[in-house]
Amino acid sequence: MLARIPATARRAGLLALLLVALVAPSTARAADTFTFTVLRNACVRKGHDFNHGEVLLKVKVQENGASGANKFTLAAVAQHSNPKQGTWTTEYTFANVTVTFPNDANSYYHERWFAYDPKNKSVHDIVVVIKVWHNKKLLASKTITSKAC
């Protein structure tokens, strides 16, 4: 037997469907508001100043418009491995990088190279912490570690 759905129930169902349609895209957009990308991650085994090779890491951070962000910060260190202790020790701290931009509908990005030329043959890596800010409020953060070589 077929029954007729009352008008108030139809309106409530349509309103619920409309709310789901509005909420779902915003959730998808939130996931890709900021992107963190490794553009190069390499080890050069020989040569350079101390003839022990070089660790190379190139990263990119991007804000995809109208996110509320107005600043990127990048903090990086080069570390060497202590295999006997199973730990890493900071050997060099790179200068912190701060990039500011307007909080508007445009998209902004920053790419940065980090290279470390170790003085010995221990295993080294580079660790970069990238943060996205709106003034003093942290919006997103990502830690990227290079290959260990």
Q: Quick one: pLDDT at residue 13? A: 44
| 137: number of Cβ within 10 Å | 8
Between 3.90.79.10, 2.60.40.10, 1.20.120.850, 3.40.50.720, what CATH number should domain 33-145 receive? 2.60.40.10
Rounded to 5 degrees, what are φ and ψ at 26? -70, -35
Each residue's pLDDT tens digit, 2-38: 344 455 444 444 334 333 333 333 333 445 799 999 9
For 120-144, how does the pLDDT look when each residue is reduced to its tens digit (9 = 90+)?
Answer: 777 889 999 999 999 999 999 999 9
* pLDDT tens-digit series, residues 54-67: 899 999 999 998 89
* DSSP code for 86: T
Residue bearing the bigger pLDDT, 145 or 43: 145
Q: Does residue 100 carry a pLDDT above 50? A: yes
Quote the pTM value: 0.75
Compute the distance between CA of residue 63 and CA of residue 70 in angstroms, rounded to an integer: 9
* 1 three-class SS: coil
